[in-house]
Structure 1
Amino acid sequence: MEKPTILIVDDEWDMRNLLKIHLQRDFKVIEAKEGKEAIAIVDQTPIDIIILDIMMPDMSGWDVCEKIRKKRQLPIMMLTARTDIKDKVRGLEIGADDYLVKPFAPEELIARVNALLRRSYYKEEQYNDSTINIADEMSINTDLRKVSVHSKIIELTPKEFDLFALIAMNPKRIFNRETLLDKIWGIDDPKDARTVDTHIKNIRIKVREAGLSFNPIRTVWGVGYSFQSPDDLT
């Protein structure tokens, strides 16, 4: 079986080399020493997962993540020495899938990388060739990863789409924030619950601005969120 390809983006040679030593047995490793180089590689090379340093001189990891997210849906792990929870939340909100703080144990690095790949492959299988049509107003195409309102495509981030599709495909289920964090971000820290609320808010704004006549995500106070169709409002 061909090894998955991992792109390591870090301006420090020592860190790139350390990551390569830990990962090269199980992955084909490609390196980039700056953000612009990383974006060029993603444009030209099939990549399965990215490890992306935040603090780089030419372009921050946050900016690189945002630019790549406009092109590709592949998993991105942010790597940083910063431990501020605000930095972690920012990374998750712009589309990062995980956040690893330096220094780290090699076992944790490998476990997190493999978990990201498993979730990525699972979503591809789960969403294959499936379309949901809602009240002649909205459609969710989980194969193309597109949401349309009145035939107009809504620009959702990868995490917004994953979150919305999960809730919409399980209309009878109420999801608490901890479950959504685990299924979409692979996080079990309740301090990150604000990330879920922010993404839900953004989804609601985007579909409302597109002309949807109802709120498709219901807040179940004290519990979490569930899907809501026009029939639920009558």
Structure 2
Amino acid sequence: MKTRIMIIDDDSKLNRMLNKYLSQYAYIVDSYTNPLEAIEALENDEPSIIILDVMMPHINGFETCKRIRKISDVPIIMLTARGDVSDRIAGLESGVDDYMSKPFEPRELVARISAILKRTERQISPKKEKGILEYGNLRIDLSAGRAYLSGIPMELTQGEMSVLSLFARHPFNVMDRDAIQNELNGSDWDAYNRSVDVTVSRVRAKLGDDPKNPSYIKTVWGTGYMFIAEPPN
């Protein structure tokens, strides 16, 4: 079964170029210049991955991503001419999986598409039942803001629970420190007195996770962290 890619970008010329280039790799490409039409199409036929521009008429890429996330967990690569930190944080908040700054090298886009597809192929979706995520002996109740390890409630601060929930909602995605910092700033947590790394360290300790041989949270040197726990079969 061939991989289908949806491109959402108001630049028709770029869409034609990407369609021609990606077709060389046996990808089936659907292009949309209107994000509202793309969202409507997505409700009926979900692609394997979405390439999404930021600056578009009707609604921008961030809002488009938020609307997509209400109906689908399809991987999204965001294209942006503005590569500053605030844009990356806004994208992560809205649910994107990766970023590329314009102009970009098409070969790099293909490499990123391939990497994301390989990751999602090996990733088993966690059990979701009324806001419940399960990974082995870890159970997270998102609606109640509680976590349980081997059935025993974990004693987590609000900030620690926010970080654990963030990781568990995005397994096998690299979470950079900016995204984690932003998550913590929204909780009852003094972001100016405690570092992201200290908070992650506390969560690891309460999970009984060994940083050198992790079962839950892996350090991605120079970037951030990745949640690597597998859901139950």
TM-score (norm 1): 0.64
Displacement after TM superposition at 1:223 (Å): 6.4
C-alpha separation between the residues in 2 aligned to 1:49 and 1:38?
13
180, 202, 212: which one aligns with 1:196? 180
Q: Which residue does the alignment assign to 2:21? A: 22
SS in 2 for 1:20: helix
Cα contact 1:74–1:120 (8 A) shared by 2: no
Q: Which residue does the alignment assign to 2:231? A: none
SS in 1 for 2:99: strand
Cα contact 2:54–2:80 (8 A) shared by 1: yes
| 1:94-150 residue CA offsets vs partner (Å, 9 max, x unmatched) | 1111111111112210011111112222222xx45699xxxxxx95246xx974539
**Greater Cα offset, 72-81 or 220-229:** 220-229
Cα contact 2:80–2:101 (8 A) shared by 1: yes
Q: Which residue does the alignment assign to 1:163? A: 167
Cα contact 1:162–1:184 (8 A) shared by 2: no
Q: Which residue does the alignment assign to 2:203? A: 226
C-alpha separation between the residues in 1 aligned to 2:164 and 2:203?
15
1:69–1:100 Cα change, 3 Å: same
Q: Which residue does the alignment assign to 1:121? A: 121
C-alpha separation between the residues in 2 aligned to 1:15 and 1:113?
17
1:161–1:16 Cα change, 3 Å: farther
More helix by proportion, 1 or 2? 1
Q: Which residue does the alignment assign to 1:31? A: 31
1:44–1:83 Cα change, 3 Å: same
1:172-211 equivalence runs, <5 A: 183-185=172-174, 192-199=176-183
| 1:56-102 residue CA offsets vs partner (Å, 9 max, x unmatched) | 11110111000001111110111122222211221112111111111
Aligned residues: 182
C-alpha separation between the residues in 1 aligned to 2:94 and 2:39?
16
SS in 2 for 1:23: helix
C-alpha separation between the residues in 1 aligned to 2:141 and 2:113?
26
C-alpha separation between the residues in 2 aligned to 1:90 and 1:76?
14
C-alpha separation between the residues in 2 aligned to 1:146 and 1:117?
28
- Ranges in structure 1 where 5+ consecutive residues have no aligned partner: 132-137, 152-158, 168-182, 206-218
1:94–1:130 Cα change, 3 Å: closer
C-alpha separation between the residues in 2 aligned to 1:54 and 1:160?
28
1:150–1:194 Cα change, 3 Å: closer
C-alpha separation between the residues in 2 aligned to 1:33 and 1:104?
19
1:50–1:141 Cα change, 3 Å: same
Cα contact 2:52–2:61 (8 A) shared by 1: yes
SS in 2 for 1:44: coil
Displacement after TM superposition at 1:48 (Å): 1.0
**Aligned Cα root-mean-square deviation (Å):** 3.8
Q: Which residue does the alignment assign to 2:215? A: none
TM-score (norm 2): 0.64
SS in 1 for 2:26: coil
- Ranges in structure 2 where 5+ consecutive residues have no aligned partner: 147-162, 189-195, 209-233
Cα contact 1:5–1:27 (8 A) shared by 2: yes
Cα contact 1:6–1:29 (8 A) shared by 2: yes
Displacement after TM superposition at 1:225 (Å): 4.9
C-alpha separation between the residues in 2 aligned to 1:58 and 1:41?
16
Cα contact 1:69–1:95 (8 A) shared by 2: yes
C-alpha separation between the residues in 1 aligned to 2:165 and 2:101?
26
